[in-house]
């Protein structure tokens, strides 16, 4: 058995640098956050252990609203990202001239520093001077300028769209890779049987990229749930708190109001939510992908 034991020791040697690094740089602050969530830490020099107070404070009607809003926001953002990503990947996967260039052209939102991308959207949403409102007026679709960030309903969607925009390149890239991994002969077989392009997409492409879609949507979900800059720069969670998600609320509490304890409790809560998600995800995927191997 010594052969095996050596291998295990070696595996740990390989892992050690990465594990240690992450442990020191991230795990330590994580534990710090966890401990903080049970204290009344603030700008004050002294902190006291307060037990569950921070957690019990969180649960009120407003926060319930925030949670629900976060879920809805995340749900729509991830779903739209996946839909657009799959759509884009499908288009870019077709054998038409120029697709290499088109593939490159999908990347910029991913590359540009996030804040800049958001500023550009801010410009687009501007009612008086922005492109969307301007175009709509030009084509006579509306007669007064539309300020997209003014109303809770439009601002909610505007932030989602921007989040989608930032996430789409990576999703598209992964979906494209997943599609390219599907053996060509499956399509040829289906075509020989008379299946048209759309039918092939629906019955072959879509089912076969489902595992990749699940992985991607989970990674995307974690990122989206914690998506901060977009809402912060565009609306600061307003108007009337209608775009305030959990992470915004956490930031406002911890950094804005310097209530580090309460902020930490919120952060821990976010992590718990996401962990539950991920466990469910692993359950679902292991069931979905079993028996599908060729």
Q: Residue 10 or 52: which CB sits closer to another protein?
A: 10
By CB under 8 A, the residues from 56 to 115 that bind another protein are 84, 87-88, 90-92, 94-97, 100, 102-115
For residue 194, CA distances in Å to 93, 114, 148, 189, 279 come to 21, 46, 47, 9, 41
Shortest gap between Cβ of 143 and another protein (angstroms)? 10
Given candidates 52, 59, 75, 123, which one binds another protein under the rule CB under 8 A? 123
Q: What is the C-alpha separation between 283 and 136, in angstroms, rounded?
A: 46
Range in contact with another protein (rule: CB under 8 A) among 48-56, 65-73, 206-214: 206-214
Shortest gap between Cβ of 225 and another protein (angstroms)? 8
What is the Cα 142 distance to its own chain's centre? 32
CA quadruple 144, 150, 153, 157: dihedral sign: positive
Shortest gap between Cβ of 81 and another protein (angstroms)? 12
Asked if 226 and 269 touch (Cβ cutoff 8 Å), the reply is no
By CB under 8 A, the residues from 269 to 288 that bind another protein are 270-271, 274-275, 278
Token digits of residue 270: 């976010």
Q: Helix axis angle, 28-36 relative to 260-289, nearest 10°?
A: 120
Residues 6+ positions from 125 with CB-CB distance below 8 Å: 132, 133, 147, 148, 149, 158, 234
- Residue of 221, 224, 226, 232 whose CA lies nearest to 115: 232
# chain residues binding another protein, by CB under 8 A: 150
For residue 29, CA distances in Å to 22, 33, 66, 271 come to 10, 6, 25, 14
Range in contact with another protein (rule: CB under 8 A) among 48-56, 70-78, 261-269: 261-269
Shortest gap between Cβ of 52 and another protein (angstroms)? 19
Q: Tell me the β-bridge partners of 49.
A: 39
Q: What is the C-alpha separation between 68 and 65, in angstroms, rounded?
A: 5
Residue 144 in contact with another protein, rule: CB under 8 A: yes
Residue 10 in contact with another protein, rule: CB under 8 A: yes
Given candidates 71, 119, 157, 201, which one binds another protein under the rule CB under 8 A? 119
Given candidates 64, 188, 283, 284, which one binds another protein under the rule CB under 8 A? 188
Q: Residue 52 or 119: which CB sits closer to another protein?
A: 119
Q: What is the C-alpha separation between 105 and 111, in angstroms, rounded?
A: 11
Range in contact with another protein (rule: CB under 8 A) among 47-55, 69-77, 204-212: 204-212
For residue 267, CA distances in Å to 18, 33, 216, 225, 250 come to 24, 8, 23, 11, 7
Shortest gap between Cβ of 99 and another protein (angstroms)? 8
Q: Residue 28 or 52: which CB sits closer to another protein?
A: 28
Q: Residue 49 or 87: which CB sits closer to another protein?
A: 87
Range in contact with another protein (rule: CB under 8 A) among 1-9, 48-56, 68-76: 1-9
Given candidates 40, 63, 195, 201, which one binds another protein under the rule CB under 8 A? 195
Lookup result for tokens 């740990």: 12
By CB under 8 A, the residues from 155 to 174 that bind another protein are 155, 165, 168-170, 173-174
Given candidates 183, 280, 283, 284, which one binds another protein under the rule CB under 8 A? 183
């Amino acid at each position: 058995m010594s052969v095996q034991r050596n291998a295990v020791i070696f595996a740990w040697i390989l892992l050690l640098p990465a594990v240690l690094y992450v442990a020191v740089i991230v795990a330590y602050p994580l534990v710090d956050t966890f401990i903080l969530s049970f204290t009344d830490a603030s700008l004050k020099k002294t902190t006291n252990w307060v037990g569950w107070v921070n957690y019990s404070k969180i649960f009120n009607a407003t926060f319930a609203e925030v949670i629900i809003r976060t879920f809805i926001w995340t749900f729509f953002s991830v779903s739209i990202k996946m839909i657009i990503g799959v759509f884009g990947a499908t288009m870019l996967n077709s054998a038409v001239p120029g697709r290499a260039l088109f593939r490159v052209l999908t990347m910029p939102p991913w590359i540009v520093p996030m804040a800049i991308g958001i500023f550009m959207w801010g410009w687009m949403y501007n009612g008086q001077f922005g492109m969307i409102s301007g175009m709509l007026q030009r084509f006579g679709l509306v007669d007064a300028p539309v300020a997209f960030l003014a109303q809770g309903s439009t601002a909610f969607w505007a932030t989602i769209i921007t989040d989608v925009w930032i996430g789409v390149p990576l999703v598209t890239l992964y979906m494209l890779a997943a599609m390219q991994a599907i053996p060509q002969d499956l399509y040829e077989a289906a075509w020989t049987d008379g299946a048209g392009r759309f039918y092939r997409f629906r019955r072959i492409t879509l089912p076969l990229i489902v595992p990749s879609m699940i992985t991607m949507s989970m990674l995307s979900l974690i990122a989206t749930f914690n998506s901060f800059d977009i809402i912060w720069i565009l609306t600061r969670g307003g108007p009337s708190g209608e775009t305030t998600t959990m992470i915004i609320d956490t930031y406002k509490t911890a950094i804005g109001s310097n209530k580090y304890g309460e902020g930490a409790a919120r952060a821990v809560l976010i992590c718990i939510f996401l962990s539950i998600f991920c466990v469910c995800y692993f359950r679902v995927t292991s069931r979905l992908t079993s028996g599908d191997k060729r």
